[in-house]
Structure 1
Amino acid sequence: MGEVLMRLVTYDDGRVGYVTGDRVVDLGGLLVGGYTVPGTKSAMRRLLERWDQVRKALPAPAPTNSVPLASVRLGPPVPDPTKIVAAPVNYRDHRSEMAMTVDISDLAVFLKAPSSLLPHGGVVRLPYSDRRVDQEGELAAVIGRRAHRVSEADALGHVAGYTACLDITMRGGEDRSTRKSFDTFTPLGPWLVTADEAGPCDDVDLECVVNGEIRQKTNTRSLIWGVAKLVSYVSSVMTLEVGDVIATGTPAGVGPIAAGDEITVTLSRIGTLAVTVASDERGPSPTGTRRR
């Protein structure tokens, strides 16, 4: 199938579809029981669980099963991962700009709250008036097969596909998982491009732009730990479930963001994630007087 048939989206009230041209084709018919099955899993997670079985049976676009892309409200591609795992200091140039002597090989990974997810077109809300908040553009991998202690050689076979991510980060002395888990601090999207369509995950161009200025520009070949090593390692610590997200780390060019800013992350062969920034107007932070 062509590339446009592999851009999977969650849209409107939890529906799933694929994007072809300027239309979204609904895939609810591929879900056992359709959208009406009670339970806690999103339609996207249910679709990914069956993807190997249904991928060759995608319906062709027709007036009865598709709507204009411009008319839908996109959600995060996977709105309910059981976990978001993130890689700290996974580019050497970022380690240098942060003046750190350690990287992912020393720090391993950390978790972000799934409640921090934000869709394409959403608004990042800055929590406090006295804290610096930075943008961090990243490639994110989405798990497509349950992974428990998988080898590096087999790891990519457990990846459903890739999407763009922003790891929004408040600076301070609190634990990473706190500073990076505020509501709206994990924009994800606009869609999930399946692994076969996205091409080699170790050769993806990444560009992050704030208000028209390029802040970050790299290729994932510069990752310290590539996607395969990340999936293998994380699966040796915690079982990865279908729909779980691994944010692979950010390159140099991290910088402060402010209310009114417009941020985009563009990944070659995958797409562009765009968000804006606003203040939550809570006043000063009640925590963290050190290491600001």
Structure 2
Amino acid sequence: MKLCRFNDDRLGLVEDGSVIDVSDALSALPALPACAYPLPCHDILIAGLADVRERIEQLRSDARIPLSDVTLLSPVANPGKLVAAPVNYQAHLDETVADPVTFSREHVRRIQETGLFLKATSSLVGAGATIDIHHPDRRTDHEIELAVVIGQRCKDVAPADALSVIAGYTIGLDITIRGPEERSLRKSLDTYSVLGPWLVTADEFGDPVGRDLVLTVDGEPRQTANTRDLILDVPALIAFASSYYTLHPGDVLFTGTPEGVGPIKPGERITASIGGIGEMQVDVVAR
């Protein structure tokens, strides 16, 4: 099942290039009292996804909206955290080592040494938004990644059990200012975390190994890779992350970008695709 959020927080089922509005399925979620405090630290749609999917099956209709007529939001509205894996493809590690001018030496280490990092949730947008360039005097790069959405509360997950805690998958763009500062700062600017175009549920997506990733800028190929080349694969990353953090429904794991990262500037268009998910186009603009 492919699920999107669109327009004014509507819920959509994506089929054959169109959207079926299934927002009434949200009534299957446990009601939250208005303005109640404290609110949960997870995404309630992802936490209640099984019930919502059951309701969606009852709401299928012939009324469809062309995808071109909707504005796509992030498929996850309220992730508790965005967890990201640095330098998780060997060829990307090789290119960072070969370019000390662009990639600060303190950030060029294997993922097992560096660990993971967090991106601010305030940086999150969907495919219908734009990437707004901050600090135009500095180099800002594109990074395509397979993004994994956690479906249940979990801690210390064994690699053999890791795929069972996943709600679904989506495309992630981890936009990055180059420089000596910590990754969490340089990657957490507004609009610098893009998820989209929709969430593909784990059962439909299947095995995350062997998925092609392609990113172009104005039609120019920049990044082409396959998830089989991840240094730490998806189960290993979930095990790694959950050994440090309790993961909650809606938490997003950016699994790392392959070689070919490069600069972007206002006026350009990024096209990103991952096998089994689809394609999204995002425009780059001046802030």
TM-score, normalized by length of structure 2?
0.88
Which residue of 15, 22, 25 maps to 1:26?
A: 22
Which residue of 233, 254, 264 maps to 1:226?
A: 233
| SS of match in other structure, 2:167 | strand
Aligned residue pairs total: 273
Which residue of 119, 122, 126 maps to 1:112?
A: 119
2:34 pairs with 1:38: yes
Which residue of 66, 73, 76 maps to 2:74?
A: 76
Aligned-partner Cα distance in 1 for 2:77–2:29: 20
Residue 189 of structure 1 deviates from its aligned partner by: 0.2
Aligned-partner Cα distance in 2 for 1:196–1:255: 33
Contact in 1 for aligned 2:29/2:45 (Cα 8 Å): no
Q: Where does 1:1-292 land on structure 2 (aligned, <5 Å)?
A: 6-21=1-16, 22-32=18-28, 38=34, 40=39, 45-57=43-55, 58-62=57-61, 67-99=65-97, 102-280=109-287
Residue 273 of structure 1 deviates from its aligned partner by: 2.2
Say if 1:29 and 1:170 are closer, same or farther in 2 by CA, change over 3 A: same
Contact in 2 for aligned 1:139/1:165 (Cα 8 Å): yes
1:217-240, Cα deviation, whole Å (9 max, x unpaired): 111000000111111111110111
Q: Which runs of 5+ in 1 are unaligned?
A: 1-5, 281-292
Aligned-partner Cα distance in 2 for 1:230–1:148: 13
Contact in 2 for aligned 1:24/1:68 (Cα 8 Å): no
Contact in 1 for aligned 2:29/2:44 (Cα 8 Å): no
Residue 283 (structure 1) aligns with: none
Q: Which runs of 4+ in 1 moved over 4 A?
A: 33-37, 39-42
State percent identity of aligned pairs. Answer: 44
| SS of match in other structure, 1:150 | coil
Say if 1:32 and 1:54 are closer, same or farther in 2 by CA, change over 3 A: closer
| SS of match in other structure, 1:192 | strand
Q: CA RMSD in A?
A: 2.2
Residue 68 of structure 1 deviates from its aligned partner by: 4.2
Residue 124 of structure 1 deviates from its aligned partner by: 0.7
Aligned-partner Cα distance in 2 for 1:37–1:163: 30
Say if 1:59 and 1:45 are closer, same or farther in 2 by CA, change over 3 A: farther
Aligned-partner Cα distance in 2 for 1:213–1:71: 26
Q: Which moved more, 1:116-125 or 1:13-22?
A: 13-22
Aligned-partner Cα distance in 1 for 2:270–2:155: 35
Aligned-partner Cα distance in 2 for 1:122–1:177: 21
Residue 11 of structure 1 deviates from its aligned partner by: 1.6
Contact in 2 for aligned 1:28/1:35 (Cα 8 Å): no
Aligned-partner Cα distance in 1 for 2:122–2:52: 29
Residue 28 of structure 1 deviates from its aligned partner by: 2.8
| SS of match in other structure, 2:131 | strand
Residue 76 of structure 1 deviates from its aligned partner by: 0.2
Amino acid at match of 2:166: V
Aligned-partner Cα distance in 2 for 1:150–1:17: 31
TM-score, normalized by length of structure 1?
0.87
Contact in 1 for aligned 2:148/2:170 (Cα 8 Å): yes
Aligned-partner Cα distance in 2 for 1:162–1:122: 19
Contact in 2 for aligned 1:31/1:46 (Cα 8 Å): no
